[in-house]
Amino acid sequence: MNAPLLVAEGLVKEYGNSRVVSDVSLSIARGEILGLVGESGSGKSTVARMVLRLIEPTQGAVHFDGVDVLKAGRSEMKMLRRRMGVVFQDPFAALDPRMCVRDILAEPFAIHGEEALQGKSMEEMLTAMLREVGLDASALDRYPHAFSGGQRQRINIARALALRPEFLVLDEPVSALDVSVGAQVINLLRSLQQTRGLTCLFISHSMPLVRYLCDRVAVMRRGELVEVGDAVSICEHPREAYTQALIAATPEFVGL
C-alpha cells in the first residue's frame, strides 16, 4: 500500500457537554477510496469537517501529505484548500441561486488566482470542466434552478475539481437523488477518481454503495469507530452486529 495521503489521529469533537466524535483515527492511502458509514447522527460529517478543518477538533491531529493541517497558518491553509475538494449532499443548497454556472465554476480561479487555469482561457477551462462531468457549454449561462438534481450535483463536482485537488470528500453526494440518477453520478465519480488518481473520503449510510465504490470502509457508531477494513470483506463478514444491521437496512446498490 502507498504511503497515506491523509492521517487523522485521535479526533474528538465536543459541543458543550456532548461528545459527538470520540477518538477517531483514520488513514487514507493515495488513490484509495475510504468509505465512512454509520447511522444518522453517528458523527460522519463531523469527522469529515475536522479533516478538512472546516471545524476545529477538540483534540487530535490531522496530517495531509505530511503537513500538520491543524497547525497550518493562513497561507499554508490556503495552499492545502486547493488540494482538498468537497461535495456535499444537497446539490441545490450548495449552489448560489443568483449565480450562473459560469460564475459558479469561475469562482475558485478568482479566489486562487488565474495561474490555476494552466494556460487555458477561462472559457476553454470552464467548457472542459463541464465536459468532464457530462455537461456541455450551453450550461454556462444558465442558473442552478434550470437543472435537475443530478445535473446540479455534476456542477458541484466540476467546481470541487476545478483546482485539481488530490483529495476529495464526498459527503453523501447521491442521497438526495433518485436511485438511477444517483447511480449515474456514482459511476461518474468512480471514473473521475480513476482518471485523476483521486484519494477520497466517501460518506454514506449505504453499505452496498460503499461496497460498490470503496476500497476500505470505516464504520461509525455514536461517535466511535467500530470496525475498519476491506469494504468487500466487511460487507460479506461483518464482525459487529451494528454493521450487520446497517447492511440489512439498505437495499442492494444497482450500479446500472
Interface residue list for ligand ATP (CB under 6 A):
15, 20, 38, 40-46, 205
Q: 45 or 151: whose CB is closer to ligand ATP?
A: 45
Q: 42 or 243: whose CB is closer to ligand ATP?
A: 42
Scanning the chain, the segments in alpha helix (DSSP H) are: 44-51, 74-83, 101-112, 122-132, 149-160, 179-196, 207-213, 231-236, 241-249
Closest separation between CB of residue 73 and ligand ATP, Å? 25
Closest separation between CB of residue 41 and ligand ATP, Å? 4
Q: 32 or 171: whose CB is closer to ligand ATP?
A: 171
Q: 171 or 215: whose CB is closer to ligand ATP?
A: 171
Dihedral angle of Cα 144, 98, 55, 200, to the nearest 10 degrees: 30
Residues 6+ apart with CB under 8 A from 183: 174, 253, 254, 255, 256
**C-beta atoms surrounding 130 within 10 Å:** 21
Closest separation between CB of residue 158 and ligand ATP, Å? 24
Closest separation between CB of residue 96 and ligand ATP, Å? 22
Q: 43 or 91: whose CB is closer to ligand ATP?
A: 43
Cell readout for 77 is 491553509
Q: Cα(220)–Cα(240) distance, rounded to whole angstroms?
A: 11
Closest separation between CB of residue 57 and ligand ATP, Å? 12
